[in-house]
């Protein structure tokens, strides 16, 4: 993805101002960034965005409380891959910030994942990365549901640690046998 001066502003500001969260969040360019991405995000059913500089600092996001943060659990090697020009889709992981669930309720540790692409300036240099948030309990699990065999078959995805990273339609059964708490879903908890 190649963008113009608006994108340059965020990486320049983060570098020159030390990435001060208050300065970044109060910048008039934050609203411009949100407006620029809003219709595209809605059209493609993403749940939000974050623009991250080379140091791993969020320089723009749809959630103001994320702006200026540099302590997000970014998967190992992701920044290097994207700044190397690759597009990456992360596996599902528990969010480090409170997010709205599908009903709009703010919760901690919700499953999330990102499609991440390099942002290039006019000189074709990667200046930032754009992460588009995906709700794995919706989009990712939907893809797996298509592979369902018969009426009771189900396809699951697990990460390399053996943790379930897809939803299950049998959560109520797991709650009855106390494998899950009443407020939990299978994704990232089994």
Dump pLDDT digits (tens) for 1-39.
555 556 556 555 555 555 577 777 777 777 777 887 888
Across 49-58, 93-102, 148-157, least confident range:
148-157
CB neighbours of 113 closer than 8 A, spacing ≥ 6? 89, 90, 91, 92, 93, 133, 134, 136, 140
Across 13-17, 37-41, 60-64, 157-161, least confident range:
13-17
CA 83/CA 91 separation, integer angstroms: 19
Q: pLDDT at position 88, please?
A: 92
Q: Record the tokens describing residue 75, joined without a space.
A: 């998967």
Q: pLDDT at position 177, please?
A: 82
Q: Where are the domains of the chain?
A: 5-134, 136-190
- Largest separation between any pair of C-alpha atoms in the chain: 58
CA 31/CA 152 separation, integer angstroms: 47
Which of 3.60.15.10, 1.10.10.10, 3.30.450.20, 3.90.1150.10 would CATH assign to domain 5-134?
Answer: 3.30.450.20
CA 183/CA 175 separation, integer angstroms: 9
Does the pLDDT at position 73 exceed 80?
no
Q: pLDDT at position 117, please?
A: 92
Identify the top-confidence range among 16-25, 49-58, 156-165.
49-58
Average pLDDT of the residues in 115-124:
86
Across 1-15, 84-98, 110-124, least confident range:
1-15
CA–CA distance from 92 to each of 76, 132, 135 (Å)? Answer: 14, 13, 9
Q: Based on DSSP, count helices (H) and strands (E) in the chain, helices before strands.
A: 6, 8
Q: How far apart are the first and last CA of the chain?
A: 36
**Residue 51 near residue 61, CB atoms below 8 Å:** yes
Average pLDDT of the residues in 84-99:
87
Q: How confident is the model at residue 152 (pLDDT cuts 50, 70, 90)?
A: low
* pLDDT mean across residues, the chain: 79
Q: pLDDT at position 15, please?
A: 55
CA 50/CA 58 separation, integer angstroms: 6
């Amino acid at each position: 993805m190649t963008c113009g001066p608006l994108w340059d502003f965020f990486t320049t500001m983060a570098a020159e101002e030390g990435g001060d969260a208050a300065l970044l969040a109060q910048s008039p360019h934050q609203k411009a960034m949100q407006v620029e991405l809003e219709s595209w995000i809605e059209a493609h059913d993403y749940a939000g965005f974050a623009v991250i500089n080379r140091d791993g600092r969020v320089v723009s996001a749809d959630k103001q409380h994320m702006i200026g943060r540099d302590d997000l659990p970014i998967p190992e090697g992701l920044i290097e891959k994207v700044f190397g020009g690759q597009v990456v889709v992360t596996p599902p992981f528990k969010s480090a910030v409170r997010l709205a669930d599908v009903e709009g309720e703010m919760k901690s540790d919700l499953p999330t994942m990102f499609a991440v692409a390099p942002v290039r300036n006019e000189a074709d240099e990667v200046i930032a990365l754009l992460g588009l948030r995906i709700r794995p309990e919706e989009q990712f699990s939907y893809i797996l549901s298509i592979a369902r065999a018969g009426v009771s078959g189900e396809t699951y995805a697990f990460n390399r640690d053996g943790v379930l990273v897809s939803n299950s339609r049998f959560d109520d059964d797991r709650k009855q046998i106390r494998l899950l708490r009443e407020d939990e879903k299978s994704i990232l908890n089994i």
